[in-house]
Amino acid sequence: MRIRSIAGVVEVLAPAKLNLFLEVLGRRPDGYHDIETVMVAISLCDTLTFRDDPTGAIRLRCSDPTLPDGADNLVIKAADRLREATGCRRGAEIDLTKVIPAQAGLAGGSSDAAATLAALDRLWDLRLAPERLDALAAEVGSDVPFFNYTPAAVCRGRGELVEPVSLRETYHMVLVRPNVGVSTSDAYRRVVPPDRPRDAGPVLDALERGGSEELGRGLFNRLQPVAEALRPELVRVRDGLADLGPLLDGSAMSGSGSAYFGLCRSPAAARHAAEILETLGLGWVRVVTCGP
């Protein structure tokens, strides 16, 4: 997350995330699932701008007319929760330029919510301690706290327990978002936690040592086969990435889908992979990076 203030306006670049590893450990009494996941922020970003509203109202304008602009939007939810927690009565005019696609497993809404908490803390001069912002982020959504610890972290619990991870180098990826979405609640409702869960250790070790080959071998997502059963169209995306062969060191679905990513061996390989995938008509394709 990148944040800057200019002449009373706070602007934030809110990045998407990818899950390099995601294991589902079991269902919790509160209805959520305990997970272990390794997430990285990528160069695909929404842009949010915040201006003080002297009337005390919270107003959101979004470039995507299909998204809600009221209480159902995580931006509004985050702003309202921040005011409730602090007693602040100031308002804000918020403009959200969407680039991160919805229902793709990229956590665009969660990233926008984290950006909102950070930006309004600055705009309203609240100066909350980082741990308090983390607690508020966890109340807004499971993925929201991660964006306070980019570029990489291992997340546990329902996703709110975040441990930062260092990245030694920049990784180049090709990202594909098919023309279908996957409901996160449907995916988690159907997943069967394994008796012997996989461990994130190999992925964390690969990130520590650097290099994409070892990391590519460790990519894993427990929700991927569930999403592919819910949306059989996704299998074509998975196979399209697999057919790229030597251009990639590995590929996986992010989150509960529907976006997939390929870990490319070089910037040139990422560009070439994107060109091939575009010709297949699999959906929206972008070259992205993640790094220190």
Q: What is the pLDDT of residue 19?
A: 98
pTM of the model: 0.96
Q: What is the pLDDT of residue 200?
A: 97
Active site residue 143: yes
Which residue of the set 17, 112, 121, 134 is catalytic?
17
- For helices 74-86 and 130-140, the axis angle rounded to 10 degrees is 130
Structural class in CATH, domain 171-290: alpha beta
Sheet holding 260-264, edge to edge: 248-253, 260-264, 171-177, 284-290
Q: How far is CA 31 from CA 28, 37, 101, in A?
A: 5, 18, 26
Q: Kindly write down the DSSP assignment for every residue of 208-259, as one continuous string.
A: HH--HHHHHHH-EETTHHHHHHH-TTHHHHHHHHHTTGGGEEEEEE-TTSS-
Residue-by-residue pLDDT tens, the chain, 292 positions: 999 999 999 999 999 999 999 999 999 999 899 999 999 999 999 999 999 998 999 999 999 999 988 989 999 999 999 999 999 999 999 999 999 999 899 999 999 999 999 999 999 999 999 999 999 999 999 999 999 999 999 999 999 999 999 999 999 999 999 999 999 999 999 999 999 999 999 999 999 999 999 999 999 999 999 999 999 999 999 999 999 999 999 999 999 999 999 999 999 999 999 999 999 999 999 999 999 9
Question: How would you class 70 by CB atoms within 10 Å of its CB: exposed for 0-12, middle for 13-18, buried for 19 or more?
Answer: exposed
Cβ-contact 119, 128 below 8 angstroms: no
Residue bearing tokens 């994130």: 200
**Parts of the chain belonging to CATH 3.30.70.890:** 171-290
Active site residue 98: no
Q: What is the DSSP letter of 26?
A: E
- Contacting residues for 257 by C-beta, under 8 A, at least 6 apart: 104, 105, 181, 182, 187, 223, 224, 227, 231, 234
Which residue of the set 112, 143, 186, 239 is catalytic?
143
Rounded-to-integer distance, Cα 172 and Cα 92, Å: 37
Chain centroid, CA 155 distance in Å: 12
Structural class in CATH, domain 2-164: alpha beta
Q: What is the pLDDT of residue 58?
A: 97
**Parts of the chain belonging to CATH 3.30.230.10:** 2-164
Q: What is the pLDDT of residue 234?
A: 97
Cβ-contact 89, 58 below 8 angstroms: no
Q: What is the pLDDT of residue 217?
A: 96
